[in-house]
């Protein structure tokens, strides 16, 4: 699955210039922040589940559900 990106364009003199900035996946963000507290994890999971339900049956929803599960497991294990 392709990552979401932002394309920033501007004009530098007579030349068009662009910079593509890829977003980190949810899994990459979760790995970067191992100390997420349980309250924050549940809050993020609720928002993720809303997105998942809106796109039920799509591959992106399955991937998001798996990343959400991993985030909750990490927060739960850290809270113990």
> Where does the pLDDT of residue 80 fall: very low under 50, low under 70, confident under 90, or very high at 90 and above?
confident
**Residue 16 pLDDT:** 64
Residue ranges per domain, the chain?
24-79
**CA within 13 Å, CB half, 69:** 7
pLDDT digit string, tens, across residues 5-51 = 555 555 656 666 666 666 667 666 656 655 678 888 888 889 899 98
Is the C-alpha dihedral spanning 45, 51, 54, 56 positive or negative?
Answer: negative
> Where does the pLDDT of residue 1 fall: very low under 50, low under 70, confident under 90, or very high at 90 and above?
very low
């Amino acid at each position: 699955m392709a990552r979401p990106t932002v394309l920033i364009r501007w004009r530098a003199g007579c030349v068009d210039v662009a910079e593509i900035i890829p977003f980190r996946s949810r899994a990459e963000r979760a790995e970067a922040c191992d100390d997420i507290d349980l309250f924050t994890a549940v809050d993020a999971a609720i928002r993720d589940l809303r997105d998942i339900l809106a796109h039920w049956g799509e591959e992106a929803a399955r991937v998001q559900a798996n990343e959400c599960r991993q985030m909750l497991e990490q927060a739960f294990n850290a809270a113990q």
